[in-house]
Amino acid sequence: MTTEEYADTLLLANPQSTTTGLLFLLWTINTVGADSYLDYWADLMDNNVTILGSWGDAYAAYSEEEKPMVVSYSTDQVYAAAENQDMARHQIAFPNDQGYAYVDGTAKFAATDRDELVDTFTSFMLDPAVQQEVAVKNVGLPTVSNASLPEEFAQYAHVPEEPVQFGYDALAENLDTWREDWSRQVAAK
């Protein structure tokens, strides 16, 4: 996306305030490394990437054909098919066959006096039948691997060959710094 063939073609939501933008930022850090991701972003900016305030703004600009590509969810075709949109405009591609894994989760706070209730709710949420329902209603992917999806949904929900994901410790240690450095270099322009 930093080469001449991709010049002035990409719309992106702001990584400071959106999930899709943040996941793209994390993908770039994983792909080119924490020491080089700001150089990659400098190249993106030189290639005239457009960064908008929200995913909705970026997707609306894409829908209005302001640019031919938008960083979005890998389930966009599910919505497009349900709304009888032009499927030729809603193609999914993963750079380097990779995409950052967008996973919903649930967690217990370290200090709680209701461990049993939290564990019961977590078990409920991770049940495959519940995950199937949540995925369909959220136009997302299940958090667990043993949840099946209805065929009309599954045919349009794409999963990258190589899901990318940082662990909790890496994010807890680095995420604020990565975002602040990105903000100083990119958002400040």
- Residues 142 and 50 placed together within one structural domain of the fold: no
Q: Are residues 32 and 47 in the same domain?
A: yes
Predicted TM-score of the model (pTM): 0.88
CA dihedral 42, 45, 47, 48 (to 10 degrees): -170
Query: Are 36 and 126 within one domain?
Result: no
* Structural contact between residues 63 and 90, judged by C-beta atoms closer than 8 angstroms: no
* CATH number, position 61: 3.40.190.10
> 113 and 87, same structural domain?
no
In this structure, the answer to whether residues 1 and 56 fall within a common structural domain is: yes
CA pair distance 14, 29, nearest whole angstrom: 15
H/E segment holding residue 78: helix 76-82
Q: Are residues 111 and 124 in the same domain?
A: yes
126 and 149 both lie in a single domain? yes
- Co-location of 150 and 170 in the same domain: no
Residues 49, 10 within the same domain: yes
135 and 64 assigned to the same domain: no
In which domain, by residue range, is 109 found?
104-155
pLDDT score of 102: 77
Each of the 189 residues of the chain gets a pLDDT tens digit; together they read 899 999 999 999 999 999 999 999 999 999 999 999 999 999 999 999 999 999 999 999 999 999 999 999 999 999 899 999 999 999 999 988 998 877 777 778 778 888 899 999 999 999 999 999 999 999 989 999 999 999 989 999 998 988 898 988 999 999 999 999 999 999 776
Same domain, 79 and 13: yes
Judgement on whether residues 135 and 96 belong to the same structural domain of the protein: no
Identify the burial level of 152 via C-beta atoms within 10 angstroms of its C-beta, where 0-12 means exposed, 13-18 middle and 19 or more buried: exposed
Domains identified in the chain, total number = 2
Supply 40's token pair: 């990659």
Task: Say if residue 124 is exposed, middle or buried (CB neighbours under 10 Å; 0-12, 13-18, 19+).
Answer: exposed
Task: Name the token pair of 143.
Answer: 């958090």
